[in-house]
Amino acid sequence: MWEGVAGLELRADGYRLERRESQTPSAWTRVTTTVVLDGDGDKGLGEDVTYDAALHDGVPDELMFAGTWTLEDLSHRFDEFEDLGEGYRRWAFESAALDLALRQNELSLGAALGRPERPVRFAVSTRAQPDRWLQFSSELEFKLDAETDWDRALLRHLHGLDRVRVVDLKAYYRGTSVDLAPDPELYRAIAEELPDAVIEDAWLEDGCREALAGAEDRLSFDAPIHSLADLDGLPLEPRWLNIKPSRFGTVRELLSTIEACEERGIQLYGGGQYELGHGRQQIQRLASVFYPDGPNDVAPSEYNEGEPREGLPQSPLPAPEGPGF
């Protein structure tokens, strides 16, 4: 897959940074930085989704890479800038370069890779019970963050709704507001009472793996996966994987991991990082090309901007149109 875009030529004249902020419903301020890469009358966009707001004050704004490049050569140039690192910030520059290369060559991502771009099924990610959302749209699907106080009565209620597609156990987060300590009894209850839901980011030690016996084909991973090597390093090969492109740093690593998953029969779905800008459209476009029918956590940004209400976009999202990423 990487070879399908690596040789695309692009002209980069310079770049600028655009900061975005949004007060979230949970009372924290989300900050992201968009890299706007200009070239030959076009522009490519990429979004730095680093979570620490203070770090957005240090996004480099004077890197020197103006010129004509192939996408692969420009990626190698980015290797030379220590300030970009290998994660979210690097992805902002890489995705901007991919976007610009596609636009200058009048190609969509799907066209460059020889794949159709299809309508995208999405699930709404929330920590709240889904009933409030279902009052406004009975067909919504959900990716729910598990909570310590979930009991079997609640789980049976959720099962009866038949709307929960993914349950996120958040076992690999440390020192964040969404941490969830591994609990074999909670794991067992979720596996038994939600027998059709994908189970994401479960801890696999301290009795937790045994608690999930029989649900192995529903296990998925997200937070630990930043590369194909991370996937290969898991104690089991999952049958599902949540793809968050910003975790992978480079386009090459992202496409290599997706390609390996397709070869191994690992089912994919997309995930978001509370993007405020073009990054949201990019995760939707990836889903349209690679996993349009998955329980994609790529709902339009309007779902992050307030309480349940009428008039929100519904699933599936229309297929993307036009060139670019």
Of 24, 11, 101, whose CA–CA distance to 65 is shortest? 11
pLDDT tens, residue by residue, 229-288: 999 999 999 999 999 999 999 999 999 999 999 999 999 999 999 999 999 999 999 999
3-113 against 124-304: fold identical:
no
For 273, counting Cβ atoms within 10 Å of its Cβ (0-12 exposed, 13-18 middle, 19+ buried), the class is buried
* Predicted TM-score (pTM) of this structure: 0.95
Architecture of the domain defined by 3-113: 2-Layer Sandwich (3.30)
The encoded tokens of residue 227 equal: 């590369």
Provide the terminal-to-terminal Cα distance of the chain, rounded to the nearest Å.
Answer: 15
Residue 129: its pLDDT value, please? Answer: 82
Residue 176: its pLDDT value, please? Answer: 73
Residue 202: its pLDDT value, please? Answer: 98
Regions of the chain with pLDDT less than 50: none
Residue 128: its pLDDT value, please? Answer: 75
DSSP H helical segments within the chain, as ranges? Answer: 3-6, 71-79, 88-104, 109-113, 131-134, 152-161, 184-193, 208-211, 228-232, 251-264, 279-290
Domain extents in the chain:
3-113, 124-304
The encoded tokens of residue 86 equal: 């290998």
For residue 296, give Cα distances in angstroms to 73, 119, 217, 304, 315.
32, 12, 18, 15, 10
Residue 82: its pLDDT value, please? Answer: 95
Architecture of the domain defined by 124-304: Alpha-Beta Barrel (3.20)
Helix/strand/coil for 240 = strand
